[in-house]
């Protein structure tokens, strides 16, 4: 379509302000989440986060936001589309949760080194970025061979447990700060209520949550379900205002590569999350096209990967993504300006050392409802965007995540409670009340193998629902091989810490004596045999179907 001589795509429109507030608040909560999780889960000092990690976040955000803003200008001129809205882009919430809990946290607990935990996160982020970049050229093929229920089911599993549920617990731990913002979010996003002057609900949630936190602190009643805020910390943070130069982390990444065991610590997280990010971003590009905004697929996905690679190279452990919800930003009247302003805002904020001021000013509980909502929407989408008959397969995805939630929580709570027994003790010597604890740990596995288990079981279930028995046999055979190699289900418990236990570790290594009860290892070979027998059964069913068409069709209900 030729461009009209009178065509003009504006640099800024009124709707860009609304779009900016929405996207800014979303990314703001991710930043607060990064600060909270890095300090509590990975033991990383706050000053290190503000001077090394957040500048890397700034680089990753400016790269993508500017590209997608300029891309919208080009697409608008190409299609003579003055209403073109840039793709929303920012920090990937599921990856923040997954990397903090399943990469950085375990490395920190097993080594006691926050520096090593950070380097493991950098390496995991870089691997994910490479997968996202090269996946841009194979995304469509990946999507064709993997059932949507399996792809979205993994995200739903992370969304409902480690995102929505975790932040629901936070809200009800600090209800005075958390409940009112939650209702603001429900009004804005569930009821589609429009607040006066069109102020975004997310902005109001953070505003009122922050006001309540500071108000109760000043009144001295923050212990009544509130959060203690520190004026001294706020003043100290302002004094840190000044230029921070992002630091290239090539040497740190090389050091991490020399730590051989780190590779096993994150591949079962970064590879599936990278693939899911590629597919999810592809779906969001398609969502934009359905709304009338057509963007080139490969460059859009590739730049998403480049943003994540830049994050890893300059200190951030957290991938970026093309956000779901392009139609929502379009409905606000946003065009391209909101995206560019978002990138410029966070770049200025973090490169001038104001990240610590932000963390001292706004409690994470004020934004907890937003993260909880994101988890709910991710889970809801898994059921809404898949064929209705695949809903049971999506439900299957929740079981490994529930097991992982319990196991991870138990592993964190036992030492904190000063328990006399460790997770290894409880699994090795079960009582009538802990009989099935071993099953929870087995379903979880080491190094977040449950994410791979979720993908395999959900894909198997979806194939069976569709009566694609050959595909089901392939998925089951894959599970057999992965289990036999020790990539999933196998684990080695050392106290409360879960480590990998690969085939070569138990089959080809000399046995070493361990103090009774301190270590427990499970090679998962019985599960591999079970999967293998199931594969044989599915192959026989597939052959029978091929020999007698229609034999697999169930009789009509009478």
Confidence (pLDDT) at 6:
58
Residues 181 and 226 in one domain: yes
Query: For residue 418, is it within any domain?
Result: yes
Mean pLDDT confidence for 148-164: 83
Query: For residue 13, is it within any domain?
Result: no
Greater confidence (430 vs 447) lies with 430
Query: For residue 199, is it within any domain?
Result: yes
Residues 375 and 481 in one domain: no
pLDDT in tens, 57-108: 999 999 999 999 999 999 999 999 999 999 999 998 888 988 998 889 888 9
Confidence (pLDDT) at 548:
53
Nearest one of 303, 344, 279 to 74, comparing CA atoms: 303
> At CA 163, angle to CA 157 and CA 165, rounded to 5?
90
Sequence-ordered list of residues with C-beta below 8 angstroms from that of 198, at least 6 positions apart, any chain:
18
Confidence (pLDDT) at 547:
58
d(CA 174, CA 87): 35
Nearest one of 488, 478, 474 to 525, comparing CA atoms: 488
Number of C-alpha atoms within 13 angstroms, CB side, residue 342?
A: 35
Res. 131: pLDDT tops 50 = yes
Question: In degrees rounded to 5, what are phi and psi of residue 321?
Answer: -160, 160
Res. 369: pLDDT tops 90 = no
- DSSP letter for each residue of 121-142: HHHHHHHHHHHHHHHTTTHHHH
Residues 405 and 359 in one domain: no
Query: For residue 536, is it within any domain?
Result: yes
pLDDT in tens, 284-327: 887 788 778 999 989 999 999 999 999 999 999 999 999 877 87
d(CA 513, CA 296): 59
CB 104 within 8 A of CB 42: yes
Tokens of 296: 């080139």
Confidence (pLDDT) at 550:
47
Tokens of 177: 């700060």
Lowest-confidence segment of 194-208, 297-311, 415-429 by average pLDDT: 415-429
pLDDT band at 532 (very low <50, low <70, confident <90, very high): very high
Query: For residue 19, is it within any domain?
Result: no
d(CA 133, CA 278): 8
Residues 142 and 239 in one domain: yes
Distances (CA, A) of 417 to 217, 230, 333, 496, 518: 28, 28, 52, 12, 18
Residues 303 and 350 in one domain: yes
> At CA 192, angle to CA 190 and CA 195, rounded to 5?
125
Residues 413 and 443 in one domain: yes
Res. 512: pLDDT tops 60 = no
- DSSP letter for each residue of 352-418: TT-HHHHHHHS-HHHHHHHHHHHHHHHHHHHHHSS-GGGHHHHHHTHHHHHHHHHHHHHHHHHHHTT
pLDDT band at 489 (very low <50, low <70, confident <90, very high): very high
Domain boundary among 386, 404, 420: 386
Residues 331 and 402 in one domain: no
pLDDT in tens, 372-401: 887 888 788 788 888 899 999 999 999 999
Residues 112 and 252 in one domain: yes
Domain boundary among 346, 365, 386: 386
Residues 252 and 367 in one domain: yes
Task: Work out the mean pLDDT of the chain and round it to a whole number.
Answer: 87
Confidence (pLDDT) at 557:
36
Tokens of 395: 């439900």
Confidence (pLDDT) at 1:
45
Query: For residue 265, is it within any domain?
Result: yes
pLDDT band at 129 (very low <50, low <70, confident <90, very high): very high
Confidence (pLDDT) at 498:
84
Residues 154 and 45 in one domain: yes
Query: For residue 534, is it within any domain?
Result: yes
Confidence (pLDDT) at 49:
96
Strands 320-322 and 491-494: unpaired
Domain boundary among 356, 386, 416: 386
pLDDT band at 42 (very low <50, low <70, confident <90, very high): very high
Question: In degrees rounded to 5, what are phi and psi of residue 223?
Answer: -75, -10
Domain total for the chain?
2
Tokens of 297: 């697929």
Lowest-confidence segment of 215-229, 449-463, 500-514 by average pLDDT: 500-514
Q: Is 484 helix (H, G, I), strand (E, B) or coil?
A: helix
Question: In degrees rounded to 5, what are phi and psi of residue 521?
Answer: -120, 145
Query: For residue 96, is it within any domain?
Result: yes
Residues 311 and 165 in one domain: yes
Q: Is 86 helix (H, G, I), strand (E, B) or coil?
A: coil
Residues 400 and 494 in one domain: yes
Mean pLDDT confidence for 198-212: 89
Tokens of 133: 């970049």
Confidence (pLDDT) at 265:
65
Question: DSSP H helical segments within 486-516, as ranges?
Answer: 503-507
**Which residues constitute the domain of residue 59?**
25-386
Sequence-ordered list of residues with C-beta below 8 angstroms from that of 513, at least 6 positions apart, any chain:
none
Tell if the pTM clears 0.85, that is, is over it. no
Mean pLDDT confidence for 398-421: 83
């Amino acid at each position: 379509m030729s461009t009209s001589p009178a065509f003009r795509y504006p640099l800024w429109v009124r709707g860009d302000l609304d779009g900016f507030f929405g996207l800014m608040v979303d990314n703001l909560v991710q930043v607060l989440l990064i600060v909270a999780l890095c300090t509590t889960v990975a033991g990383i000092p706050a000053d290190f986060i503000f001077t090394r990690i957040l500048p890397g976040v700034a680089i990753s955000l400016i790269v993508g936001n500017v590209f997608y803003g300029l891309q919208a200008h080009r697409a608008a001129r190409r299609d003579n589309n003055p209403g073109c809205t840039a793709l929303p882009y920012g920090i990937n919430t599921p990856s923040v949760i997954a990397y903090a809990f399943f990469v950085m946290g375990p490395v920190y607990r097993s080594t006691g080194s926050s520096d090593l935990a950070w380097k493991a996160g950098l390496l995991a982020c870089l691997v994910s970025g490479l997968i996202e970049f090269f996946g841009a050229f194979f995304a469509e093929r990946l999507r064709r061979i993997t059932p949507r229920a399996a792809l979205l089911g993994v995200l739903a599993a992370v969304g409902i447990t480690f995102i929505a549920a975790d932040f629901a617990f936070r809200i009800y731990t600090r209800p005075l700060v958390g409940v009112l913002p939650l209702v603001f979010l429900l009004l804005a996003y569930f009821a589609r209520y429009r607040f006066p002057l069109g102020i975004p609900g997310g902005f109001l949630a953070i505003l009122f949550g922050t006001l309540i936190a500071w108000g109760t602190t000043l009144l001295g009643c923050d212990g009544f379900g509130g959060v203690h805020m520190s004026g001294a910390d706020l003043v100290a943070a302002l004094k840190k205002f000044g230029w921070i130069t992002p630091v290239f982390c090539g040497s740190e990444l090389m050091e991490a590569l020399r730590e051989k065991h780190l590779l096993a610590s994150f591949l079962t997280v970064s590879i599936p999350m990278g693939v899911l990010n590629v597919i999810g971003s592809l779906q969001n590009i398609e969502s934009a096209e359905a709304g009338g905004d057509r963007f080139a697929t490969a460059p859009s996905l590739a730049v998403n990967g480049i943003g994540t690679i830049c994050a890893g190279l300059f200190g951030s452990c957290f991938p970026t993504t093309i956000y779901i919800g392009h139609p929502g930003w379009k409905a606000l009247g946003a065009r391209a300006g909101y995206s560019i302003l978002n990138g410029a805002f966070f770049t200025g904020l973090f490169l001038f050392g104001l990240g610590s001021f932000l963390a001292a000013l706004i409690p994470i509980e004020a934004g907890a409802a937003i993260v909880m909502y994101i988890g709910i929407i991710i889970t809801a989408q898994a059921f809404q965007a898949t064929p209705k008959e695949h809903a049971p397969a999506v439900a299957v995805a929740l079981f490994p995540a529930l097991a992982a939630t319990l196991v991870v929580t138990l592993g964190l709570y036992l030492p904190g409670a000063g328990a006399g027994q460790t997770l290894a003790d409880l699994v090795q010597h079960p009582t009538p009340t802990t009989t099935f604890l071993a099953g929870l740990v087995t379903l979880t596995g080491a190094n977040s193998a449950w994410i791979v288990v979720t993908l395999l079981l959900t894909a198997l279930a979806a194939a069976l629902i569709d009566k694609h028995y050959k595909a089901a046999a392939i998925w089951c055979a894959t599970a057999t091989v992965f289990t036999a190699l020790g990539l999933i289900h196998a684990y080695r418990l050392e106290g409360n810490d879960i480590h990998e236990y690969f085939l070569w570790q138990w089959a080809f290594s000399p046995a070493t004596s361990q103090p009774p009860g301190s270590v427990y290892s499970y090679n998962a070979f019985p599960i591999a045999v079970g999967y293998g027998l199931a594969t044989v059964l599915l192959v026989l069913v597939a052959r029978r179907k091929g020999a007698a068409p229609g034999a697999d069709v169930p009789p009509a209900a009478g």
